[in-house]
Structure 1
Amino acid sequence: MIAKRRVLATILSLFVPVILLTGGLYFNSKIHNFEKYETIEPTEKEYGYTLYICKSCGKVKTDDYVEPTSYLLPNIVINEVCSSNNSILPDENGDCFDWVELYNPTDRVINLSGFGLSDKKSDLFRYTFGDIEIRPKEYLVVYAVGDEVVESSNTDRIYANFKLTSKGESLFLTLPNGKVVDKITYPELKGDESYSRFEVNNNVAYKITKGTPMEENREFIAVQAPVFSADSGFYSDSFMLSLTSEPGTEIYYTLDSTEPNMNSIKYEGPILIKNATYNENVYRLKKDTTTDNEKFPKDLVDKATIIRAVAYDKDGNSSDIVTKSYFVGLDKYKNTNVVSMVTDPANLFDDEKGIYVKGTLYKQWELGGKVGEEPLPNWKNRGFLWERLAEITYFDKGDLVLEQRLGIRIRGAVSRKRQMKNFNVFARKFYNGQNRLLTPLFDEISSQKSFVLRAGNYKEGFLQSLVADRNISTQLAKLCALFIDGEYWGDYQIMEKYSVHYIEEHYKIDKDNVSILKRGQLEAGNEECVKDYNELLSFIKNHDLSVKENYDYVCERADIQSLVDFYCTQIYINNIDFSYRQNVQIWRSEAKSSNPYEDARWRWMLYDLDASIYKKENDIKYFYDFNMFTEDSPFSKGIYQDPFISNLMKNEEFCKQFVNTFMDLANYNFNKDIVKEKLYKVTDNPEKSMIEFFENRFDYITKYMADFFNLKGKLTNVTLHINNPEEGTIKLNTLPDSITNGKWSGKYYTDYEITVTAIAKEGYSFDGWKIEGAEIVGNKNSQTISVKLIDNQDCSIEAVFKKLN
């Protein structure tokens, strides 16, 4: 076989020259004779090239391509990588994503259009840049967020669709033509560490440092923070405070809540800590904190002494700032809850950045601007860009519970323009490495991400506490005295903050599967849920809900008991500033599971009860006798115009649920004696108007409700009996089974049957019912029965239990 191939090769070698010769003669007229015609220089984005033209036929060709100038080295470099970011460079939403920093070391602007950034060599364009420029000697940070959807109004923010691993990997920066222009392989990194590029004598080296995004890379030198000889707290007498730091450092401190630096007071010996109340009021007298005609304190307000200190080494490296709050001679606060909020005063009161004041633009407008063209005062700005760092110290009846750096924002709507504003307070990793409070402020919860400081007395929290056992979300609350930068600000309430974290904590649903709407607008979660809610509302408005199939459809989309509890509460406490679109917040899970709350149905959240139990001096028009069902208030229409109730009440099952629930609440949750007892546990000096309201509300509002639902029956007494509470109890309608500790009485309309369930305790079993003045509907021996009440007859219900053998 090999010999045959050699013979064939020899024969072909004889013919090839002949073929080439004849072919050359034949095609001579078709061979192009190109010569250089013109050179096109490359631009930043376009390739350069040379044009050639054939002298024989005029055909033009291009060759000798030159890459765009932005592709030429020296070029963009990967300057820093932070793959375990806890607290550095939060984005505008306050999230701390891992990040990659690019740097332009050249003296020209470079456009990144078409460049690729990736952590996989097999896919160099996992993220492709758009029309982004980096100016000479400037930086660009790319957040590595993976598939997470990030809402951003800042077009300069870049979110790459891959994530970094803290264990270490390689990153590639690639030209549009596929050429890798830079590569970095970083090691395992700890929280807030970065892998940084350094150039020393034209040699490139990489080191693990503390992250310095958007700045020149530098090695981090840790300086220990000053140590105080006394903790924040309450002290009866003056004392001397000592500060110490490591050898070779100096301490600087402030007394006015500003952040200390090397221009502050140098520590040279113990500091006298005394009662600061006799110092002049400073921050509490700032007049640009309100547009209302409010009175400011004329007398000296109580004050704490605030010490903020920092240590510097000989090279100017600084430690963290330490802040302490000292209450000297203020023992009256030891029996209350106290919050000391310390922040650089500029964060609150500076015209440019202060979140508590009118601000420059609004003040300029006040000097002669046109009506209707007023700019937003600073306190109306929202979002993370208007969040400020504060040191929050919390004392529970004199005991130090929490000291933590947290973020503060102004909260509310109309209340923003008042002297005493509300705050939202957030724990975030970039403040101190923790995204939860170091200690929850309420014993009932195990974890807390945020809370609210709400100006005013106990009213909001107390009213919510009355219905904390109902099928609506309520916020835990406690009273406190708030001090801002050392000055007493007023009485506030510490309250839970509604959020996806609240739902996760209380209902054990993954926060990523929760959506929340506030006043019909998306507060958190999936944008599709807004459409879903509006479709549900439209369905309720446009379908006959007396038809079972239609009503069942609504029940599949909304937790009707939650809706009923919400409306019954608002109506009974006479909240004249609420409607289905106003001061209403709802939530749902986006997934379904065996968790009874994870069923994708809407549930209601109670909040903003300022306009409840409404009574102005010498004005009782909207007090306990106000009919919210049929009358309009200054802030909202009556229930008769509410699309939920006006349409749902066409269904008889809903009417029964609403009427019985309303009476459950009236008889138990809002019982005048129960309310009064709970009120005196909250305050020794309750408002007379609140006691007066609950003493009178029942007689008026139950009649209004009966008229609105066109009830024909009578209001009759129902008494539950248990001979021995150790044997068992009775559950009535939606009320808790703990109400019957022997005997309980309430009033119900005879139009609808009530439901009772006998619940035997351990060691006992149910043995039957004894009922007078009413009829049992259905199986008389069942543990759960329906009871038909009779007009003009008092009803007595007794559950009988027997001891097990």
Structure 2
Amino acid sequence: MTRKKTLILIFILLFIVLGLSFIGRRGIARRFPLTITEICACNKNAAYDDNGDYGADYIEIYNSSDGPVSLLGWGLTDSRKDLFKYTFGDVTVEPGQAVIAWSSPCIDDTSLYRDDYVPSDIHDIPFKISKGEVCILTSPDEKYVQRLPIPYDLPDNKCYASCLDDPGRYNITSATPYYVEETFIPEKKEILEAPSFSIKGGWYDGDVVVTLDAPKGDIYYSLNGSVPDSESYKYEGPITISNRTQEPNIWSAMGDIATANTYIPDFPVDKGTVLKAVAITDNGTSEIVSQTYFVGLDSYGYDGISIMSVSMDPDDLFGYEKGIYVQGKVKDIYGEKMDLDPFEYIYDYCNYGKEGRGWERPVNIEFFSEDHHKVFEQKAGIRIHGGFSIGQNQKSFNLYSRAEYDGNEYFKYDFFKGNGNGYSKVVLRTGGSNDLFVTKQRDVFCQSLVADRDVGIQRAIPCALFLNGEYWGMYFIQEGIGESYIHEHYGIDEDNVIIIKNNEVSTDDPEDLKLYTDLVDYISTNDMAVDSNYRYVEDKIDIQSLIDYYITEIYVANGDAFSNNLALWRAKNPTGDKYGDGKWRWLLYDLDESCAMITELTNASIDSFIEGHWEISPLNGDKLFSSIIKNEEFKERFVSSFIEMTEKNFQYESVHEKLSILSAKCKDADIKSQERFRGDFVVSSYEPGEDFTPPYSEDDYNADIAVIDDFFKERASYITNYMKNDLGLSD
């Protein structure tokens, strides 16, 4: 009997131990109303915080009770030795609601908060959420509420989460912050082979009949850019592709995409057909594949220029939560916090104003040459590009080639016929915030004039863009400033490059930025007329590159330079190569507010040495130039280079011929693009006598090109005299 009782007791103890282990493993907290329902331990682009920023790990805490619960005095930690690493303040969790504790800081200026705004999210939890560790929630009376182990194999951008119908069971799922799923739906496991197309995408005069095939599963497809799933068209036989232009606009009819020019076309835009297909079984799915067919389109606006088709999940473009082209949820987040006028919404306070890897979305690109033959296709990433221009209805994009998308670190095609080293980033640029609605060509054209100088330029080619099958206007495919650009042009290894662009450093190392800012401080606080001081600077700077940069910006009268749109680079660790000497070299970009684009600020008669810029000018506020020009050797070299570039690079007859070639190539494409996007929008700072009444005509275009031409015709005499007077040169 004693032995039997002993066995029973052992059995009971084992049952208790196993039960406690089970509870610990599952993290059940049935006696308390608050539970951890979701943890993300590596959030690259899974979810963004209440600042609209990705990248922060987070813990979701849910109130399962029927009444509000205060978190005041509760503890959150990753260590049993310190249960109150983070102690909550007086945050109330409403019934059936959740709050998020983020590892990121709150970057808001809280003085702008409305008086009635009460923050719900928690920031700055003082520990890193790591895979394989535990997360512990503790009540104010120091009782364990929940101890939740985080799996070692939790993938990046995935969460460990529970659901309402089985709160003690945790699964690896996609992120759903602020929302607890009713039930767990297992993701399909099998990866199927993607469907194949009988005819590849291209430019066709008449209808195209396409057949699809997949080794396994049913095929589902869409024709308008939407993502196919089991609710889409089921493939039953050959698909006839026709001209879809007269169908109602879908993506071109989207609102909520701009704060400046909000025009939406009231006519059917040109349309290609993006045929997207996927194979699906009960337990598996393939990747979604696509081909773009341009069928029966009028060639006007496309002759002689390339075509780029970009297809992607429409929700990634126009969705409220994660769409990169809309004002979206981020605007509403900030609208709840503070009162902002529409101008302020342009930058940080809209979806399209957010930056960083988290706001990059996957796309499929197809590129067609100037004769409209398909050259290549590739999977890539896309983000919104630009400053003030992001508030316009036609936005610029950055495209990124990454191995994670399709194994390619660089784009498979050399758009610019360069050195063949490859690019991991290119820009689809509209022409800036103002020239976007005029010629689109100022930036590209001005840079092309100094291609032979010692300042870096971005080569570019014009193209027509189709976005999910709908015509999206004229763009320039342009080199993107980045490590691959430096490697392509200068041969420096990408991991040995420091790039500074608008006071942000590519390495994210403040010490690398300090290398430049300390040098500028040295130049401005030491007499550059002293030879030893100048020799020190000469050892740190490629003097000719600096000179060519300033001459270009001054001559073309770029009003948005020096204090803004400043880029330079150097090799981090000097090598024996020509450009590996560790000297700073300058790069040009965003020259669109030049050549009389801002009539009162950047006209041919403006003295760009001392005025004509939004903030500082070379001899009026620019610490670097106004100091180094005091050295006679530098001044002599600057003047000599200025005269040389005036007589060669900016010589009017040569400029006129080059402008005629580019403007002729872009004429129809630009006019067509203005019809699509400009409407009756007025560029108030641009006054060529144009009344901006639509439609934008060939006469309007010719008049706009003439403004650039007249600028260069008149510029030399003005700016040469200014140089002599401002630099104190004798005749």
TM-score range, shorter-chain basis? 0.5 to 0.7
Q: Is 1:413–2:392 an aligned residue pair? A: no
Distance 1:598 1:95, change over 3 A: farther
- 1:696 shift after superposition: 2.0
Contact 1:365 1:374 in 2 (8 A): no
- 1:637 shift after superposition: 3.6
| Equivalent position of 1:518 in the other structure | 501
1:202-241 maps to which residues of 2 (within 5 A)? 220-241=189-210
Deviation by residue 1:127-148 (Cα, 9 ceiling, x = unmatched):
xx999xxxxxxxxxxxxxxxxx
**SS of 1:290's equivalent?**
coil
Contact 1:515 1:525 in 2 (8 A): no
Q: Is 1:452–2:427 an aligned residue pair? A: yes
- 1:373 shift after superposition: 9.5
Distance 1:657 1:304, change over 3 A: same
Aligned amino acid, residue 549 of structure 1: S
Q: Is 1:645–2:620 an aligned residue pair? A: no
Higher strand share: 1
What is the CA–CA distance in structure 1 between the aligned matches of 2:288 and 2:255, rounded to whole Å? 30
- 1:693 shift after superposition: 1.9
- 1:655 shift after superposition: 0.5
Q: 2:281 aligns with which of 309, 313, 337?
A: 313
Distance 1:656 1:211, change over 3 A: farther
**SS of 1:549's equivalent?**
helix
CA RMSD of aligned residues (A): 5.3
| Equivalent position of 2:664 in the other structure | 684
Aligned amino acid, residue 653 of structure 1: E
Contact 2:263 2:393 in 1 (8 A): no
Which is higher, the Rg of structure 1 or of structure 2? 1
| Equivalent position of 2:92 in the other structure | none
| Equivalent position of 1:625 in the other structure | 605
Distance 1:685 1:360, change over 3 A: same
Deviation by residue 1:559-592 (Cα, 9 ceiling, x = unmatched):
22111110000011111221x3211111111111
| Equivalent position of 1:463 in the other structure | 446
Contact 1:362 1:375 in 2 (8 A): no
- 1:525 shift after superposition: 4.8
- 1:639 shift after superposition: 2.5
Distance 1:510 1:245, change over 3 A: same
What is the CA–CA distance in structure 2 between the aligned matches of 1:72 and 1:304, rounded to whole Å? 57
Distance 1:91 1:436, change over 3 A: farther
**SS of 2:489's equivalent?**
helix
Q: Is 1:574–2:541 an aligned residue pair? A: no
1:578-617 maps to which residues of 2 (within 5 A)? 578=561, 580-615=562-597
- 1:674 shift after superposition: 2.1
Aligned amino acid, residue 442 of structure 2: K
Q: 2:259 aligns with which of 269, 281, 291?
A: 291
Q: Is 1:273–2:248 an aligned residue pair? A: no
Contact 2:78 2:133 in 1 (8 A): no
**Worse-matched range after superposition: 322-331 or 519-528:** 519-528
What is the CA–CA distance in structure 1 between the aligned matches of 2:133 and 2:256, rounded to whole Å? 52
What is the CA–CA distance in structure 2 between the aligned matches of 1:73 and 1:297, rounded to whole Å? 59
Deviation by residue 1:90-145 (Cα, 9 ceiling, x = unmatched):
9999999xxxxxxxxxxxxxxxx9999xxxxxxxxxxxx999xxxxxxxxxxxxxx
1:160-559 maps to which residues of 2 (within 5 A)? 220-247=189-216, 249-315=217-283, 317-330=284-297, 332=299, 333=302, 335-360=304-329, 362=331, 370-371=339-340, 376=345, 378-384=350-356, 385-397=358-370, 398-444=372-418, 445-456=420-431, 457-559=440-542
Deviation by residue 1:262-302 (Cα, 9 ceiling, x = unmatched):
01111112222111111122222333211124543333221
Distance 1:544 1:337, change over 3 A: same
What is the CA–CA distance in structure 2 between the aligned matches of 1:373 and 1:693, rounded to whole Å? 34
Distance 1:356 1:593, change over 3 A: same
Contact 2:385 2:396 in 1 (8 A): yes
Distance 1:91 1:407, change over 3 A: farther
What is the CA–CA distance in structure 2 between the aligned matches of 1:561 and 1:434, rounded to whole Å? 36
What is the CA–CA distance in structure 2 between the aligned matches of 1:696 and 1:635, rounded to whole Å? 23
- 1:374 shift after superposition: 8.6
| Equivalent position of 1:694 in the other structure | 712
Contact 1:514 1:525 in 2 (8 A): no
**SS of 1:289's equivalent?**
coil
What is the CA–CA distance in structure 2 between the aligned matches of 1:664 and 1:340, rounded to whole Å? 42
Distance 1:533 1:245, change over 3 A: same
Q: 1:560 aligns with which of 537, 540, 543?
A: 543
- 1:304 shift after superposition: 0.6
**Worse-matched range after superposition: 371-380 or 636-645:** 371-380
**SS of 2:568's equivalent?**
strand
Aligned amino acid, residue 442 of structure 1: F
Distance 1:464 1:375, change over 3 A: closer
What is the CA–CA distance in structure 2 between the aligned matches of 1:452 and 1:513, rounded to whole Å? 23
What is the CA–CA distance in structure 1 between the aligned matches of 2:330 and 2:559, rounded to whole Å? 35
What is the CA–CA distance in structure 2 between the aligned matches of 1:653 and 1:380, rounded to whole Å? 47
> Which ranges of structure 2 fall in alignment gaps of 5 or more residues?
1-16, 28-41, 56-75, 80-84, 88-103, 108-120, 135-151, 157-171, 432-439, 667-704
- 1:653 shift after superposition: 0.3
| Equivalent position of 2:727 in the other structure | 709
Deviation by residue 1:726-753 (Cα, 9 ceiling, x = unmatched):
xxxxxxxxxxxxxxxxxxxxxxxxxxxx
What is the CA–CA distance in structure 1 between the aligned matches of 2:187 and 2:618, rounded to whole Å? 65
Larger relative contact order (Cα-Cα within 8 Å, sequence gap ≥ 6): 2
Aligned amino acid, residue 305 of structure 1: T
Distance 1:499 1:622, change over 3 A: closer
Distance 1:393 1:550, change over 3 A: same
Deviation by residue 1:332-361 (Cα, 9 ceiling, x = unmatched):
235320111112222222222221112246
What is the CA–CA distance in structure 1 between the aligned matches of 2:497 and 2:21, rounded to whole Å? 45
Contact 2:227 2:314 in 1 (8 A): no
Contact 2:594 2:602 in 1 (8 A): no
| Equivalent position of 1:31 in the other structure | none
**SS of 1:683's equivalent?**
helix
Contact 1:481 1:492 in 2 (8 A): yes
- 1:390 shift after superposition: 1.7
- 1:379 shift after superposition: 4.1
- 1:463 shift after superposition: 1.5
- Identical amino acids, percent of aligned pairs: 34
What is the CA–CA distance in structure 2 between the aligned matches of 1:668 and 1:88, rounded to whole Å? 49
Contact 2:563 2:616 in 1 (8 A): no
Q: Is 1:668–2:651 an aligned residue pair? A: no
**SS of 1:494's equivalent?**
strand
Distance 1:566 1:287, change over 3 A: same
What is the CA–CA distance in structure 2 between the aligned matches of 1:498 and 1:91, rounded to whole Å? 27
Deviation by residue 1:180-232 (Cα, 9 ceiling, x = unmatched):
xxxxxx9xxxxx9xxxxxxxxxxxxxxxxx99999999895331211112111
Contact 2:483 2:494 in 1 (8 A): yes
Contact 1:513 1:525 in 2 (8 A): no
- 1:521 shift after superposition: 2.7
Contact 1:88 1:211 in 2 (8 A): no
Deviation by residue 1:372-411 (Cα, 9 ceiling, x = unmatched):
5998463443334222222211111212122122111111
Aligned amino acid, residue 656 of structure 1: E
